C-alpha cells in the first residue's frame, strides 16, 4: 500500500514536471520575442530555438515513456521513476545552461532561474540527489563561464543590456559565481528540509491509515465470528419454534399461538439482521469474489421475482426497460442479483400504495447503467450523503418502517465497488428516489 | 414407514426435525457427526438421509455425500442437504455427474427449517424412490 502511494505520487509529480516544461517552453519563446522585438536587444535566435526544439522533443519523448511506464506497472517502478526524474532535471539544467550561454552567459540575469530547478529537484528527489544536482549546475555554470572567459566558446554579447567585456571581468565573475552557487545550495537546503518534513508527515499519515485499515479488518473479523455464532443459535431457536407454531406438536390455544407467533417473528427479524451483518463482513473480508460472465436479463428477472408478491400486495406497478442488445456482463451473479433485489425491495418498502417502480438497464459501451426509480417517500436532502453508510437509516424511512437493518445499501455499495463500479442516488423528499448502478461490462 | 437418518451436530435442530417428521409417522434416527452417520448407515440402511454441511469440518457433509454416492450399496439413498448458506455457495444441484464440483445430493433445505417445506421435500424424495 505504501509502495503504491509512493509510485502514484511520484508519477503524478513527474507529469507535473512535464507540464511545467511545456509552460517553460512557451515562456522562453515569449521572452525571446519580447527581448528581441520590444527591448531591441540583438539575440542570435537560431541556436536558442535549437535548444528549445531539443527541450520540446525530449519532453515529448518523456511523456510517451511515462505513459508506457504507467501502463506496464513494473515492480521496480519507483526506482525507474526516480532515475527518470534525475535524468530529466539534469537535462533541464543542461538546456538552461545552453540557453544562457547563447544569450549573454554570465551577464544574463536569467542565470538565477537555476533556483527553480533546485526547488523542483528538492521536491522530486532525495536530499542527496538534490545536492548532486546543485553540484552539477555549479559545474555547468563554471564550465560555461570558464570556456567563454578563455575564448574557447564564443561569448554572445547582449548589446545595450550589459557592459561590454563584463564576462572577462574576474571580480564580476567571482562575485556572481559566489552568489549563484551559494543561492543554489541554500535553495536546496531550504526546499529539501521542507519537503522532507512533508514526506515524513505523509508517511506517518499513511502508516496511521494502514493501522486503521488493519483495525477495521480485525473488527470485521470479530463481527463475522460473533454474528455467525448468533445465527446458528437463532436458526436452532426458529427451527424449534416452527413446528410448534404450525401445530405439529398439538393444537395451541389462541394465546399460546399468538405468543409463539410473536417469538417467531422476532427471531426472524433478528436473523435477518444478523445475516446482513454476516454478509457485509464477509464481503469486506473476502480478498476475491468469484466472477464470471452472466446474463443480466435473467438476473434482473430473478431479482424481481423476489419482490413481486410484496409489490402486488401494495398495488405497486413495476416497469422494465432493458436495452435489447444488453445481456452478458462480467461479475458475481449472486451478488448483483441480491443488490438489484435489495434496491427493488427498498423501493417497495418505501413506496406507498398505488406507487410505481421502474427499472432500466442501459448499454453504455464498456459499462452498463442500472437505474431503479420509485415514487416513494424519497430521502431528505441533507441525509442523501449518509444513506450508504453502515447502519444509517433516513429519518423518514424510520418513521414509515420501524424495522430495517440500515445495512442494505452499505452492502450494495460494497458489492458495486468490488465490481469496480459506482452507485449513487438522486432523490427528492416526498417525490421518490432513483438509484443508479454503473457496472463495467467485462473484466 | 420409511426410515430417515438425520446427520447433524446441532442437537436442537435434530430434535426439531425429529418432531416434524415423527408427526408424519416416519421412523427417525440421528447421528451427531459425519463419522457416526456413516456407521449408522452401514448398520441400518435408511430410506432417506438429512445431512448437515458443517460438522467436524466445514464441509464434512459434502464429504459424506460423496462417499455414499460412490458406494453401490448406498448410492440409491436420497440425500436432503441442510444448509444455512442459501445461494451464496453458487451450488448448482442439477449439475451433471463427473463434474469435479458435482454435489451428489438430491435436494436441499435451508436453515432455519420451515416445517411444511421440509415435509414436502421429504415426501417428494421418497416418492421418487
The minimum CA-CA distance between B80 and chain A, rounded to whole Å, is: 16
* pLDDT in the model for residue B89: 45
CB B3 within 8 A of CB B25: no
For every residue of A241-289, DSSP letters joined together read HHHHHTTTTSPPPHHHHHHHHHHHHHHHHHHHHHHHHHHHHHHHH-S--
Confidence band of A199 (pLDDT split at 50, 70, 90): confident
Instruction: Please enumerate in sequence order all residues whose Cβ is within 8 A of that of A31, keeping only pairs 6 or more positions apart, or say none.
Output: A110
Please, what is the Cα angle at A148 between A144 and A149, to 5 degrees?
115
Please check whether residue A238 touches B, CB under 8 A.
yes
Range with the lowest mean pLDDT among A76-80, A254-258, A271-275, A317-321? A76-80
Residue A136 confidence (pLDDT) above 80: yes
How far CA B95 is from CA of A27, A180, A337, B102, in Å, comes to 70, 80, 21, 6
Please check whether residue B18 touches A, CB under 8 A.
no
**Residue A429, C-alpha cell as written in the block:** 423528499
Site from B21, B82, B112 to mutate, A interface, most A CB atoms within 10 angstroms: B112
SS3 A177: helix
The minimum CA-CA distance between A400 and chain B, rounded to whole Å, is: 28
Question: For A156, what's the count of Cα atoms within 13 Å in the CB-facing half-sphere?
Answer: 18
Please check whether residue A27 touches B, CB under 8 A.
no
Global pTM reads: 0.66
Q: How many interface pairs between A and B have CB atoms less than 8 angstroms apart?
A: 52
| ipTM of model | 0.82
How far CA A226 is from CA of A222, A411, B113, in Å, comes to 6, 18, 22
CB A243 within 8 A of CB B20: yes
pLDDT tens profile A361-420: 999 989 999 999 999 999 999 999 999 999 999 999 988 888 888 999 999 999 999 999
The minimum CA-CA distance between A348 and chain B, rounded to whole Å, is: 23
SS3 A321: strand
Within 8 A of B111 by CB-CB distance, chain A residues are: 235, 239
Please check whether residue A252 touches B, CB under 8 A.
no
Within 8 A of A237 by CB-CB distance, chain B residues are: 12, 112
pLDDT tens profile B6-28: 999 999 999 999 999 999 999 99
Distance of CA A403 to the CA centre of its chain: 36
8 Å CB contact of A249 and B84: no
8 Å CB contact of B115 and A246: yes
B112 cis-preceded (ω within 30 degrees of 0): yes
* pLDDT in the model for residue A290: 84
CB A388 within 8 A of CB A413: yes
Confidence band of B113 (pLDDT split at 50, 70, 90): confident
Selecting from B19, B23, B84 the residue whose C-beta is nearest the C-beta of A235 gives: B84
Residue A108 confidence (pLDDT) above 70: yes
pLDDT tens profile A19-49: 999 999 999 999 999 998 998 888 888 999 9
8 Å CB contact of B10 and A246: no
* pLDDT in the model for residue A342: 92
**Please, which residues 87-116 of chain B have a Cβ atom closer than 8 Å to chain A?**
87-88, 90, 111-116
Residue B129 confidence (pLDDT) above 80: no
pLDDT tens profile B73-92: 998 899 999 876 554 444 44
The minimum CA-CA distance between A60 and chain B, rounded to whole Å, is: 51
Amino acid at each position: 500500500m505504501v509502495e503504491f502511494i509512493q509510485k502514484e505520487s511520484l508519477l503524478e509529480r513527474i507529469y507535473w514536471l512535464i507540464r511545467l516544461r511545456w509552460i517553460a517552453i512557451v515562456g522562453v519563446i515569449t521572452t525571446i520575442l519580447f527581448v528581441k522585438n520590444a527591448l531591441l536587444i540583438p539575440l542570435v535566435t537560431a541556436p536558442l530555438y535549437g535548444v528549445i526544439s531539443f527541450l520540446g522533443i525530449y519532453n515529448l519523448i518523456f511523456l510517451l515513456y511515462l505513459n508506457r511506464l504507467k501502463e506496464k506497472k513494473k515492480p521496480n517502478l519507483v526506482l525507474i521513476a526516480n532515475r527518470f526524474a534525475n535524468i530529466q532535471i539534469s537535462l533541464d539544467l543542461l538546456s538552461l545552461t545552453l540557453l544562457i550561454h547563447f544569450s549573454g552567459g554570465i551577464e544574463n540575469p536569467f542565470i538565477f532561474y537555476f533556483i527553480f530547478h533546485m526547488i523542483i529537484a528538492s521536491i522530486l528527489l532525495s536530499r542527496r540527489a538534490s545536492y548532486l544536482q546543485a553540484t552539477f549546475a555549479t559545474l555547468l555554470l563554471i564550465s560555461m563561464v570558464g570556456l567563454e572567459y578563455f575564448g574557447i566558446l564564443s561569448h554572445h554579447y547582449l548589446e545595450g543590456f550589459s557592459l561590454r567585456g563584463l564576462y572577462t571581468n574576474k571580480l564580476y565573475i567571482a562575485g556572481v559565481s559566489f552568489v549563484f552557487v551559494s543561492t543554489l545550495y541554500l535553495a536546496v537546503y531550504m526546499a529539501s528540509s521542507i519537503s522532507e518534513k512533508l514526506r515524513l508527515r505523509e508517511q506517518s499519515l499513511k502508516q496511521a491509515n494502514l493501522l486503521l485499515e488493519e483495525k477495521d479488518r480485525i473488527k470485521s473479523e470479530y463481527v463475522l465470528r460473533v454474528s455467525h455464532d448468533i445465527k446458528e443459535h437463532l436458526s436452532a431457536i426458529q427451527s424449534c419454534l416452527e413446528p410448534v407454531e404450525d401445530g405439529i406438536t398439538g393444537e395451541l390455544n389462541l394465546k399460546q399461538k399468538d405468543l409463539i407467533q410473536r417469538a417467531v417473528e422476532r427471531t426472524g427479524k433478528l436473523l435477518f439482521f444478523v445475516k446482513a451483518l454476516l454478509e457485509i463482513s464477509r464481503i469486506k473480508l473476502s480478498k476475491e469474489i468469484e466472477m464470471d460472465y452472466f446474463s443480466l436479463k435473467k438476473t434482473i428477472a430473478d431479482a424481481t421475482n423476489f419482490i413481486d408478491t410484496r409489490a402486488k400486495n401494495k398495488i405497486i406497478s413495476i416497469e422494465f426497460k432493458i436495452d435489447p442488445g444488453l445481456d452478458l456482463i462480467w461479475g458475481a451473479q449472486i451478488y448483483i442479483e441480491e443488490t438489484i433485489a435489495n434496491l427493488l425491495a427498498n423501493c417497495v418498502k418505501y413506496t406507498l400504495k398505488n406507487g410505481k417502480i421502474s427499472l432500466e438497464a442501459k448499454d453504455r459501451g464498456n459499462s452498463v447503467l442500472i437505474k431503479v426509480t420509485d415514487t416513494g417517500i424519497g430521502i431528505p436532502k441533507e441525509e442523501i450523503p449518509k444513506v450508504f453508510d453502515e447502519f444509517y437509516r433516513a429519518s423518514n424511512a424510520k418513521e414509515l418502517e420501524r424495522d430495517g437493518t440500515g445495512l442494505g445499501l452499505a452492502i450494495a455499495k460494497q458489492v458495486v465497488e468490488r465490481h469496480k463500479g459506482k452507485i449513487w442516488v438522486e432523490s427528492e423528499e416526498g417525490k421518490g428516489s432513483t438509484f443508479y448502478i454503473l457496472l463495467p461490462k467485462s473484466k | 414407514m420409511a426410515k430417515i437418518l438425520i446427520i447433524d451436530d446441532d442437537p436442537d435442530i435434530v430434535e426439531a426435525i425429529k418432531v416434524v417428521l415423527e408427526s408424519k409417522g416416519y421412523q427417525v434416527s440421528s447421528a451427531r457427526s459425519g463419522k457416526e452417520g456413516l456407521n449408522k448407515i452401514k448398520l441400518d440402511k435408511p430410506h432417506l438421509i438429512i445431512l448437515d454441511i458443517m460438522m467436524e469440518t466445514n464441509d464434512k457433509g459434502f464429504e459424506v455425500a460423496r462417499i455414499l454416492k460412490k458406494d453401490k450399496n448406498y448410492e440409491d439413498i436420497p440425500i436432503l442437504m441442510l444448509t444455512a448458506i442459501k445461494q451464496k455457495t453458487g451450488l448448482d444441484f442439477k449439475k451433471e455427474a463427473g463434474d469435479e464440483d458435482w454435489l451428489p445430493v438430491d435436494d436441499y433445505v435451508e436453515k432455519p427449517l420451515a416445517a411444511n417445506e421440509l415435509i414436502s421435500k421429504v415426501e417428494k424424495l421418497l416418492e421418487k424412490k
